[in-house]
A and B are shown apart, each in its own frame.
Chain A
């Protein structure tokens, strides 16, 4: 109940941030532009809408997740509101959990909003709801779950600016899994070992992107259900590990 109270308060506070609305409106705008761009190249109009829509949700989701989650802890510490919370019978893990749940609820609301617009556009253009697009949105959602956990983890010890570059950087590197994978088989043992650390330790954000299979239809997802399921489990387990680490660090942190 305590984490829920904290989460609810966090959502209320986060929904007041103007910057979040700017990203949401931009995302929705981009998705809505999909059919317009489609007219410009009628031959690929389906691919245009699909990849533009998913990209817009990913990009807006990325910024919304980072700007929302980056400040959840620092604001409480800076405004000293955290004193009034932690001096009450609130355990620090409950605080982190509440903040995470709240931050992620905001991300969830945004992805759902953009997802609905996206699916509506698809319906208008294709007169059907392609299941792989639905899976694409759900994948973005789990990708953001992982990113939210990562950002909250960093916020237990890094300033918002440092956190921004860390989270963003890791998101980019984690999206280039084919590059980091190729590093692991490098001839130089130093490079290959570093590559292994990066490839296996950093969250593999690239796994979640089904855009690749849209843009390169030759890459085929063999079994969408397994793909979906594996990635969900991966995101959840990895997020739990990050949150556990966040709690361990935050437990020792002076506020």
Chain B
């Protein structure tokens, strides 16, 4: 499959003239997003996610580096015909009705009538905005309704590639799961989604691959399965011989091993050889293995570990 997004060394430095400060919001980013996948773009607040998306859409200009979208150089006006963007926290033109707003965006894509009205209706239905609200001013919309109209406007041109910047933030649980499912359904329609989100449970559920960036630098990228694999096991052993130097032996193999009472030791490891080695010495000391429980890692674990590790090294 061809790359829907190919980012080659994108860098963005913001220069604060007054404080003579330079912020590197995005730092030499390399990334490939394949066609037809939902790609999760993760990072802490201020990591550079929005900055990256804005560069790709030609709203701001990179200090260095380049990228292609759907095989064409970024910022190319023709390629925008197939793009969609849901910015974070947009207010839209709130004196317009939902329908008129959609109609306006349809006109910007030069979609003629009656096709345009048809598209508007399809999109509003798809995001499940109540029809009573279609002819009402956006000013009176709730946060959830605004988010729905935001996604609807992103669908007006039946795009091939969508950039969604936190589409599910600040929603009630039901709206949240509905919108998440709508985003997930885009994949079935063959669309590519570049999803920036802090909702890691959602990302784990609907994305195939993710990238984690931190202070503008790419920390890791890969399929979710690969990232959460290397499953850890929690091992609990018991032996009368713990006092006689056995605990120290175990501790030298697994520094994280913890003693619980006089006869129990518990540790976590993702390395089968280490686990076997410990089991061998426990058995040698006439001890018993009480349990080996696989511990499933979540994307959140991976995220926290990856970012913590990077922050620790700074």
Query: Which A residues have a C-beta under 8 Å from some C-beta of B?
Result: 1-2, 5-6, 9, 12-13, 16, 79-81, 83-91, 252, 254-255
Contact = CB atoms under 8 A, between A and B. Distances in A.
A1 B90 contact: no
6 contacts: A1-B110, A2-B107, A9-B96, A79-B93, A81-B92, A83-B54
A79 B91 contact: yes
Nearest to B58: A86
A254 B153 contact: no
B215 interface: no
Nearest to A76: B93
Interface in B80-112: 80-81, 83-85, 87, 89-93, 95-96, 104-105, 107-110
Nearest to B91: A79
Contacts of B78: 89
From B87, B157, B163, name the one whose CB has the most chain A CB atoms within 10 angstroms: B87
Contacts of A6: 108
Contact of A80 (B77, B83, B87, B108): B87
A255 B105 CA distance: 19
B104 A2 contact: no
Contact of A88 (B61, B87, B95, B109): B109
Contacts of B93: 9, 13, 79, 81
Interface string B48-61: 00000010011111
Nearest to A6: B108
Give the residue among A16, A91, A254 with the most B Cβ atoms within 10 A: A254
Interface of B is mostly: loop
Nearest to A95: B108
A5 B104 contact: yes
A5 B153 CA distance: 16
Contact of B95 (A1, A16, A86, A89): A16
Nearest to B90: A80
Contacts of B95: 12-13, 16
A83 B60 CA distance: 10
Contacts of A83: 54, 57, 59, 85, 87, 90
A1 B54 CA distance: 26
B53 to A, nearest CB: 9
B94 to A, nearest CB: 8
B108 to A, nearest CB: 5
Nearest to B85: A87
Contacts of B92: 79, 81, 84
Contact of B80 (A9, A79, A80, A87): A87
Contact of B59 (A9, A86, A252): A86
Contacts of B59: 83, 86-87, 254-255
Contacts of A85: 108
Contacts of A87: 57-59, 80, 83-85, 163
Contacts of A12: 95-96
B163 to A, nearest CB: 8
Given A87-B80, A88-B109, A89-B109, A80 B91 contact: yes
A87 B150 CA distance: 13
A9 B57 CA distance: 23
A87 B76 CA distance: 10
Contact of A89 (B61, B77, B96): B77
A61 to B, nearest CB: 24
Nearest to A1: B110
Contact of B105 (A1, A79, A84, A252): A84
A85 B92 CA distance: 10
Given A79-B90, A86-B59, A252-B61, 9 more contacts: A9-B96, A12-B96, A79-B93, A84-B105, A86-B57, A88-B80, A89-B78, A89-B109, A90-B108
